[in-house]
Amino acid sequence: MSLQRSLLSFGGLLVVLLCGLTASMQPSLAGGDEDPLLQKSRVLTEAFAGRLQLALQSALREGGPVAAVAVCKDIAPQIASELSRHSGARVRRISVRYRNPGNAPEPWEKTVLEAFERNSSDAGDEQAPEFFAGGDAETSARYLKGIRTGSVCLVCHGTSITEDVEAILQAEYPFDRARDYELNDLRGAFSVTWPDQGDAPPAKSAAH
C-alpha cells in the first residue's frame, strides 16, 4: 500500500491512523477495500458540519454572535442526536479543551486527538486530520475527523471575545476551556462510534 500511515496500538489492537499528513493521502484511500462504515462515518460528519455551519451562519447574520451562542448550545447537540438516531451510531463533537464538559473526549478519543496535534505541522496544515478503526464482534468501529478553526469561530473561541459574548459564555459555561484558539488551530473533532457487531440486532427484528 503506497498510503502513508502510522500504526497506533490500542490495548493490543492495531488501528490505522489517517492523519491528513499530505494532500495526496486522502485520495489514495479511495480503494475498493474501504470499510463501508468509514464511508458512512464521513457522510455523517459532512452532514453534521454542513448543517451546523448553515445554522451558525444564519444565526450570526440574523441575530449576531450572542444569538448564535444558542445555535452552538442547542442546535449542535440536536443535530448530533438526530444523526445518531437515524444512523444507529453515536455521533458527537468533542474537544480536549471543551466548553461543555459533556463534550469531553473518552480516553481513545483523547489519544487520537493528541496524535492529531502531534502530527499537525506548525506551518498551517489546512487539512483536517482523520482517523478510522474498523470494528469486529467485540470492538466498535470508530471514526474521528478533526475540526479546524475558521475566522468565524474566533468570535466565540478566539483570544479577544467581545463583552456581550463573554457575558453569555460566562453565564452558560462557567468552566469554559474553549478559548484562545487561533486561525486554523485544531479545535476538536467530530466523533462517530458504531455499535460493535455483537450489539447488532438480529436480522429478523431489523426487518420490522
Binding site for ligand HEC (CB under 6 A): 56, 65, 68-69, 72-73, 76-77, 93, 95, 98-100, 103, 147, 149-150, 152-153, 155-157, 178, 187-188
C-alpha span between 102 and 104 (Å, rounded): 6
What is the nearest approach in angstroms of ligand HEC to the Cβ of residue 148? 7
What is the nearest approach in angstroms of ligand HEC to the Cβ of residue 25? 22
Which cell goes with 90?
453515536
By C-beta, is 16 or 178 nearer to ligand HEC? 178
By C-beta, is 135 or 188 nearer to ligand HEC? 188
DSSP structural state of residue 37: H
C-alpha span between 26 and 35 (Å, rounded): 14
Residue 66, CB half-sphere, CA atoms under 13 Å: how many? 9
What is the nearest approach in angstroms of ligand HEC to the Cβ of residue 81? 11
Helix (H) or strand (E) holding 173: none
What is the nearest approach in angstroms of ligand HEC to the Cβ of residue 98? 4
Specify whether the CB–CB gap between 119 and 107 falls below 8 A. no
